[in-house]
């Protein structure tokens, strides 16, 4: 389970995966990969197998060209806060931010899709390995899950999953508009229900009265009988991630912090993954 967290969060996730690899743990062989927002990009790269964790990590800490930084304005932050305060369900929260997204001035939708396609590189078709990508329908606020059987092109699914309200335009799929998959919950770990062993990498540990935190979702999976390890940023990783999730300048530091943090979780994850 790969959670939301912007470009910087994606770097942290790749760093954690690389660090676990240092300890001999290969998460790429998972029976299912679920990605939300940043996690959707990382999930595609892992499932496609076009580059291993080592290469993906080097891209994060190198000088590879990437898109410019994007910042949400103060008014958008207030709309997010108001949506949390006034919503009683994840769907209501999604609808509130859907209204923000549908009325926001952003780059053209086709331009945004091209940016996501470049980020995915050669991984433009659904991989053979089971992969699910989340998004939120802008008008209903309901969670959508795309996979190889959904009929949705992979690039469109990822573009939808990464459509941060106020920063990027909603993605149009089948006449509907879709938003960032992390709006339903930052990890959407509940989608792992039924699996015996679950590893959750969540750049954001956020939980509110409306949105379930990764820790809460992990506890619910544990209560159902699964073996679960939830990894969220430690103090050093939080400092590296900072407050600018959409600024690629922080990506390298986040990746290094994730790799360093992985050692603290390696023993438990190894026991879960191979036990």
Name the residues annotated as catalytic: 37, 180
Q: For residue 193, count other CB atoms closer than 10 A to its CB.
A: 12
Location of structure tokens 């790269």: 45
Whether the CB-CB separation of 157 and 112 falls below 8 Å is answered with: no
Q: Is the dihedral of CA 57, 61, 64, 69 positive or negative?
A: positive
Pairing of strands 33-36, 131-137: parallel
HEC string for the chain: CECCCHHHHHHHHHHHHHHHHHCCCCHHHCCCEEEECHHHHHHHHHHHCCCCHHHHHHHHHCCCCCCCCCCCCHHHHHHHHHHHHHCCCHHHHHHHHHHHHHHCCCCCHHHHHHHHHHHHCCCCCCCCCCEEEEEEECCCCCEEEECCCCCCCHHHHHHHHCCCCCCCCCEEECCEEEEEHHHCCCCCHHHHCCCCEEEEECCCCCCCCCCCCHHHHHHHHHHCCCEEEEECCCHHHHHHHCCCCCCHHHHHHHHHHHHHHHHHHHHHHHHHHHC
């Amino acid at each position: 389970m790969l959670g939301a967290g912007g470009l910087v969060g994606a770097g942290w996730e790749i760093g954690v995966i690389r660090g676990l690899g240092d300890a001999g743990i290969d998460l790429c062989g998972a029976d299912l990969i679920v990605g939300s927002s940043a996690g959707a990009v990382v999930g595609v790269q892992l499932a496609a197998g076009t580059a291993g964790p080592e290469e993906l990590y080097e891209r994060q800490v190198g000088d590879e060209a990437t898109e410019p930084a994007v910042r949400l304005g103060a008014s958008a932050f207030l709309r997010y806060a108001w949506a949390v305060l006034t919503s009683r369900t994840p769907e209501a929260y999604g609808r509130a931010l859907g209204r923000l997204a549908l009325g926001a001035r952003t780059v053209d939708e086709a331009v945004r899709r091209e940016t996501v396609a470049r980020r995915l590189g050669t991984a433009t078709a659904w991989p053979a390995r089971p992969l699910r990508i989340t998004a939120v329908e802008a008008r209903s606020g309901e969670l959508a899950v795309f996979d190889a059987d959904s009929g949705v092109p992979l690039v469109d699914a990822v573009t939808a999953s990464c459509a941060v309200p106020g920063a990027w335009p909603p993605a149009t799929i089948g006449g509907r508009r879709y938003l960032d998959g992390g709006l339903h919950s930052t990890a959407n770990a509940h989608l792992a229900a039924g699996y015996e062993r679950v590893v959750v990498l969540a750049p954001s540990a956020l939980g509110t009265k409306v949105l379930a935190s990764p820790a809460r979702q992990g506890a619910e999976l544990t209560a159902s009988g699964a073996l679960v390890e939830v990894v969220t940023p430690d103090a050093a990783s939080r400092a590296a991630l900072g407050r600018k999730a959409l600024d690629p300048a922080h990506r390298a530091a986040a990746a290094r912090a994730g790799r360093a943090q992985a050692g603290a979780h390696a023993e438990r994850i190894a026991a879960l993954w191979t036990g």
